[in-house]
Chain A
Amino acid sequence: MPAAVPQSNRDEPESHPPARGAGVLRDWIILVFASIHALKLLAGVIPEASRPVPVPHELAQAYEALTGSKQRWTMFETIPSYHKWRSRLVITTPDGRTRELGPLLPGFQEWMEPAPVRLYVQNERLFSGDHSPVMREACLRRLDDELRGRGLIAPGERWHLETLEDFTRHLVHIGRDGRLYERRVNRHEPPPAPAGERMEAR
């Protein structure tokens, strides 16, 4: 009777020379790392906000940052809210007339159609959520610097950024009249001048 052929996906310890020194140490390191990482991954099934006991330990956070293993799978988070989301720069002259510019740097480009996902999520998170006030302010300051640096704003003119947020209406209401969204326009003013900068210069 022929000997059973080992299945290719089974362990074949006889095919390996017995490990010594460095091999044993390497396997220990693998075991420790893999066990820690596996436990960390499994704990990630429960989202951070829902964990009964948060793990605020700095070491754990540093490990997540260094290994890129932070688990936050919030895909589709904002989808139910928006039918569309756009923004534009509005410049108002001293006599009240307005003109518009594309809001995307460099070069005050217009939004692309259809909007690439990354552009859409970045701008929506920048201006409609509370994700990053620091980045929002920095972005507005960049726009201000660029407008003034390129001479696109004359003395006495003012500018602001408008977000055009088209909220999807309730399905029942859409079914009644076919109108898909309600538009809300939000206004973001340029940040105040940094300390020490004279207003006349702006």
Chain B
Amino acid sequence: MDIAINTGNSRYQVDKNGYYGRFGGAYVPEMLYPNVEELQTKYLGILSDPSFQQEFEALLQDYVGRPSPLYFAKRLSEKYKANIYLKREDLNHTGAHKVNNTIGQILLAKRLGKHRIIAETGAGQHGVATATVCALMGMECVVYMGSIDIERQAPNVARMKMLGATVIPATSGSKTLKDATNEAIRDWINNPVDTHYILGTAAGPHPYPDMVARFQSVISEEIKKQLLAKTGNAHPDYVVACIGGGSNAAGAFFHYLDEADVKLVAVEAGGKGVHSGFSAATTQLGTIGIIHASKTLLMQTNDGQIVEPHSISAGLDYPGIGPMHAHLYETGRAQFLSATDDEALAAAYELSLLEGIIPAMESAHALAKLKDLPLNTDDVVVVCLSGRGDKDLDTYIRHMNK
């Protein structure tokens, strides 16, 4: 397990100014400039330090349980008449890919001399992963979570509290992930010296999109090795991942970005239908703008007000996408599809019944598009199963009783 350090001259990686094509940058108020600049100037040096890498790798192995299995889903493959592999991020400690990033960032925070950690969370997975590493390192942890998400993700709220974190409800705006992120940024403005903000997705000001992508790149690094061992070829035909802000997709795509023979598929949350007014399909509904200090695609009104997205999944309920993904979309390097709430629910039930795996609502969006890919029988498809479904049982049970 290595953190990707040398990424060469890839046209899909961040440039020296923090941009991916015309997307990215750091549109932060001056109050945040010193914090962001400190990260920008130090992150690559810290990440490439051998002692950092050693500590990161040891924790990923012994604490998170990596490498996560690459599982050949036989019955799913039979159904879709292709060779489908699941990258089992759901088997990580805390139940999702989020912990790869929080381990990396808490080690970084320690090296920056910070002793207070803040984070935003939507579904609660990133909040739990942050609370977990804070407990592990004995650091104070404050997690901002939309008050609506606090209601719909009660088990994760309880987990964060048990892990010693303070959960603060975000009651502004839509009271979901976007607003929790605003509150976390405001906290950082008010606590500029002692606090590190562990942003959970591949969004926000530079260097977060790149830093999060590098920590999550362990996913595609492992896929390459595992697939080579299983099939004799490290390159699948497709890599499929769900995308809200885009951290698991960034990790699953990372080492394949420059491999033109690998098709990258990002699945957004279509909600009740892309044009229903209740959707989070940013590439289809969005235009260029600034959200959370990044120039990227986002859903907004003609007047530039950011709109409230909708998804059954609290983790995909975000009106923007990370700047790397906006660039992948614009260049056509990745294909962007969307899955509706109902398609995702059906896919979650299907995986549960065919493979005995209950996926997270988010990951179910990726699974839901298997039916729409033009698959051949010898195609190899890797789906990033970003998280497990325990946290979504309430949603699943409600659906079951319908």
Chain A partners chain B: no
| Contact surface of A with B, Cβ cutoff 8 Å | none
| Contact surface of B with A, Cβ cutoff 8 Å | none
